[in-house]
A and B are shown apart, each in its own frame.
Chain A
Amino acid sequence: SQQGEEDPQALSIQEGENATMNCSYKTSINNLQWYRQNSGRGLVHLILIRSNEREKHSGRLRVTLDTSKKSSSLLITASRAADTASYFCATDKGFQKLVFGTGTRLLVSP
């Protein structure tokens, strides 16, 4: 069951610009997580937001969650070339069974 849908599928920006990625899901969740994947490698956890939270920050990352709209957004401020990667949202309906979205490919050009 593919729960998360990410938008856009691909995003190309210049260094220093902000990048915003969106995630929509279908059913109620315990939490929503964002992961990054560098080309052809494993995923790295970025940030987790719980269903009773609306916004969370971690360094240059800002995540919002709107449970009424079943959507989340990830904002990366002041992007760097090293932020080039694929970004995935994952919803946890309970017991850590994550359902991943299809991902957003971010390209940050110098």
Chain B
Amino acid sequence: DVKVTQSSRYLVKRTGEKVFLECVQDMDHENMFWYRQDPGLGLRLIYFSYDVKMKEKGDIPEGYSVSREKKERFSLILESASTNQTSMYLCASSLVAEFQETQYFGPGTRLLVL
């Protein structure tokens, strides 16, 4: 079974802090994604990566950056956390292969920025 793990289930940070959210997958997937989920808005794509050291902006990249130094690890960075970044953050991974488009999600990190 594919396993996607996220470093924390719950996180409380203060405004202005630098925040790192880590995601690790164990199935050698090329693609990795970061989403945020807010009530009434569904999931929105922040950043994604097709390969090591490669990143692409999603629909809402402002205020975020990412790092992918190793294939299995994709980090989301909030350079200076703000209260409007309080949200549920979900990481996902998938294969780059035709007919293999399923995305596998981690359990999520609930971030509260005070």
Residue numbers of A with Cβ under 8 A of B are: 1-2, 4, 31, 33, 35, 40-45, 48, 88, 90, 92, 95-103
Number of residues of chain B lying within 8 A (CB) of chain A: 27
Closest-by-CB residue of A relative to B101 is A96
Q: Are B42 and A2 in contact, with the CB atoms below 8 A?
A: yes
* A41, B91: Cα distance in complex, Å: 11
Q: Are A45 and B40 in contact, with the CB atoms below 8 A?
A: no
Q: Are B45 and A42 in contact, with the CB atoms below 8 A?
A: no
Q: Known contacts A1-B59, A42-B90, A43-B90: does B105 contact A100 (CB below 8 Å)?
A: no
B11 on the A face (CB < 8 A) = no
B15 on the A face (CB < 8 A) = no
B44 on the A face (CB < 8 A) = yes
Q: Known contacts A43-B90, A92-B101: does B58 contact A97 (CB below 8 Å)?
A: yes
B107 on the A face (CB < 8 A) = yes
B54 on the A face (CB < 8 A) = no
B111 to chain A minimum Cβ distance, whole angstroms, is 13
Q: Are A97 and B48 in contact, with the CB atoms below 8 A?
A: yes
Q: Known contacts A42-B90, A42-B106: does B42 contact A88 (CB below 8 Å)?
A: yes
B89 to chain A minimum Cβ distance, whole angstroms, is 11
A93 to chain B minimum Cβ distance, whole angstroms, is 11
Within 8 A of A (CB), among B23-66: 31, 33, 35, 40-45, 48, 50, 58-59
